[in-house]
Structure 1
Amino acid sequence: MLKKLTIAFAASAAALLAATTSGVAQTKLKWAHVYETSEPFHTASVWAAGEINKRTNGRYQIDVYPASQLGKETDINQGLSLGSVDIIISGSSFAAKSFPPIGVTYYPYTFRDADHLLAYTKSDVFKELAKGYEDKSGHHIVAVTYYGVRHTSSNKPIKACADMKGLKMRVPDVPAYLAMPRACGANTAPIAFAEVYLALQNGTVEAQENPLTTIEAKKFYEVQKHIVLTGHIVDHLNTVVAGALWKKLSEEDRKIFTDVAQEAAAKATAEIKTNEAKLVDFFKQKGLTVTEVNKAEFRDTVIKTTKFETFDYRKSDWDRIQAVK
C-alpha cells in the first residue's frame, strides 16, 4: 500500500512538474509587421522568434504575422497598447505619433548614408529619443534595422524638384514623409501600403516613394516607368516590445530579447545593403529609366520651405545627428 502511494505521489509530482513546465512553455507572443514574407525584415523576425524560443528553453513561443495580417502599420502600433500584439517592427515615423521628437530622423536629408544612420543608433541622441518614446508610450525599442534609402518611382520623368509639381503621388500619412514631395509641389495621397500597387496600376496615383528593395519586393516596378534616385530619407525600422510584456520580463529575459533582436537587425541590415546595391541594374533590365538627380537642390528646397517646428521636431536634435560620425 505504501509503495502504491509512493508511486502515485511520484506520478502526481511528475505530472505537476510537467504541467508547470508546459505552462511556462506556452507563453505565446505575437510579432507583427507589414512586410512581405520574402523580405529580410520577415526572415530575420522568424529567425529571432526561433532564437528567443531556443535561448529561453522554450518558455516563449513567438508567432510572426507578416504582410499586414494583424493590421496596417498604424493598427499594429496601437496594438502594442491594446494588447493585440507583443512585438512589432515599425518606423520611427509611427513612434513619433506618441513622441514627436523621435521622428526627426525622417526630416529629409538628415542622414548622409546607411553608415551615418547606424552610427546614430549607437549615439547619446538616439538613446535620449528612445527613452522619450518609452516614457510617453510605455513601449521599449530593442533594436534598429536599416530599411534602405527612399527614392521616387513615377510614370512621368523627373529630373528636378520642379518636375514634381502637380504629380499625383502616394506618400505614407506621416508628416515628415510628406515634406519633400510637398516642398516640390506634388499632390500627395495617403494610400495604405497594402493598396499602393493597385493605386499605381489603375492611375489613382502616378508616383510613390520607397527604398529600392521595397519597390522590388512589392513589384511596384511592374506599374511604373521611372526610378528617380531622390535619396530623400535614409530609413530605418525599430523593433519594439510592448510595455506590458517588457515589464513582465526578467532582466535575464530582457537581455535575451534585446540581444536576439539586435542580431536579427544586423542580419536584415546586411541583406538590405547587399540587395540595394544590385537593384539599379535590375530595374534597368526591367525596362525602367533610372535617373540621378541633384539631391542638393531637393534638400535646399525642403530646408527653405519646411520648418522643424512644423512636425514638433527639435532642430537641436537634428544638429546633434549631423555631428555624429
Structure 2
Amino acid sequence: MTAKWPVLVAAALSLSITAGAAEAQTKLKWAHVYETSEPFHTQSVWASQEIAKRTNGRYQIDVYPASQLGKETDINQGLSLGSVDVIISGSSFASRSFAPIGVTYYPYIFRDANHLLAYTKSDVFKELAKGYADKTGHQILAVTYYGARHTSSNKPIKTCADMKGLKIRVPDVPAYLAMPRACGANTAPIAFAEVYLALQNGTVEAQENPLTTIEAKKFYEVQKHIALTGHIVDHLNTVISSGLWKKLSDEDKKIFTDVAQEAAARATAEIQAKEKELVDFFKQKGLTVSEVDKNDFKETVLKNVTFESFGYRKADYDRIQAIKSEPAL
C-alpha cells in the first residue's frame, strides 16, 4: 500500500502542473505615444485592468505611454514584429499598410466630432477596417475621438494665405501635410516628443494638434497664437496584433473588443468635455485664439491636393461626406 503513495503523489503533482500551465497568465504589452495625464493613457490603464478582471487574471497587460516602446512608426511596426500586442495609433499610420483607410485625414472630410463618430458606425468604416485587417492581419477594435486639429504659431493666422512661408511642424504623414502645403507653409517632420524644444528654440514657428494635446504637451508655453483651423477631426484606433488575435478564443476576442470600445467611449467623452474648456484656458495664459474661414482653407486644399496622390478613393470621401450625424452641442 505504502509503495503506491509516491506514484499517486507524482500523478497528482503532474495534474496540478498541467492545470496550472493551462491557466498560466499571459503577459502583454500595450503601447502609445501620449502623456500619462491624457485620457488615451488613463483609459488604456483602465482597459488593461478590466480585461484582467473579465478574464479572471489570465492576461496581464502592461501599458507603456509617452513613446517608451518607440515612436508611432515603431509601435505600428511592432505589431508585426511581435514586440507589442496592442497599440493606440491613428489611421494615418495604418494607411502605410492600406492606403485607402487614410482618407479620414483628408482635410475637412469631417464636419465635427459627431460626424466622425457616426462614420465609425458606418459601412464605409467597416469596409476600410476590413481592408486594413485583410492586408495586415491586425484588427481595429475601437476608435477614440482625438480632437479637432488646430494650428498654433508665433504669428496670427486668419486665412490660408497667412500660412505662406510659415515653418510648421507636421507629422511625417502625407495627409497631415496637405493643408499646410496647400497654403504654402514649409513643413518639418519633427518627432512628436521633440516638438516642444523645436518650438522653443525656433527650429519651427508653428505646429498643429488638438487643443487637448497643445495643453498636455505645454505647447502654449512656447506659442503666442492659436488659429481654430479644425482642418482634421482626428481619431485614434485601438489595434490588436494579428499574432495575438489569432490566439484568442472567441470569448476572449469579445472581451477585448467590448473593453476597448468602452475605454474609447470614456476617453472620447473626456476629450469632448475638455475641448470646450480649453479656449478660455489658453486665453487666460495670454494666447490669442482666433476663428478662421474654414471654407477658404477647404477650397484651397481641394484645388491643390488630389485624393489619388495619397492612394485615397474619392468614392470613400463622398460616402463619408454624405453620412448624417447629430449636430454638435
The amino acid across from 2:165 in the alignment is G
Give 1:12 deviation, angstroms.
1.4
- 2:308 is aligned to 309
Q: Secondary structure at the match of 2:286?
A: coil
Structure 2 CA distance for aligned equivalents of residues 112 and 261 of structure 1? 25
SS of the aligned residue for 1:257 comes to: helix
Provide the secondary structure at the position in 2 that maps to 1:281: helix
Matched residue type, 1:153:
S
Aligned to 2:271: 272
1:58 aligns with 2:95: no
Give the fraction of aligned pairs with identical amino acids, expressed as a percent: 80
Letter in 2 for 1:151: H
Q: Match of 2:159?
A: 160
Mean alpha-carbon deviation: is it higher for 7-16 or for 202-211?
7-16
Name the counterpart of 2:243. 244
Aligned residue in 1 for 2:95? 96
Deviation per CA, 1:4-31: give whole Å up to 9, x if none.
Answer: 4487257515642563255x22x11100
Please state whether the residue corresponding to 1:38 is helix, strand or coil: coil
Q: Which residue of 2 aligns with 1:49?
A: 48
User: Which residue identity does 1:97 align to in structure 2?
Assistant: R
Matched, 1:124 2:123: yes
TM-score (norm 1): 0.97
- SS of 2:235's equivalent in the other structure is strand
CA distance in 2, matches of 1:17, 1:97: 43
Rounded Cα–Cα distance in structure 1 between residues aligned with 2:246 and 2:7: 41
> Deviation string for 1:259-317 (max 9, x for gaps)?
00000000000000011110000000000000111111111111111110110100000
In structure 1, how many angstroms separate the alpha carbons of the residues matched to 2:264 and 2:158? 34
Matched, 1:19 2:23: no
How many residue pairs match? The answer is: 323
Q: Which residue number corresponds to residue 172 of structure 1? A: 171
Letter in 1 for 2:176: Y
Partner of 2:9: 8
Tell me the TM-score normalised to structure 2 length: 0.96
Counterpart of 1:297, as a letter, is D
What are the ranges of 5 or more consecutive residues in structure 1 without an aligned counterpart?
none
CA RMSD of aligned residues (A): 1.3
| Whole-Å separation in 2 of the counterparts to 1:4 and 1:137 | 54
State the Cα distance separating 1:137 from its structure 2 match. 1.3
Tell me the residue number matched to 1:140.
Answer: 139
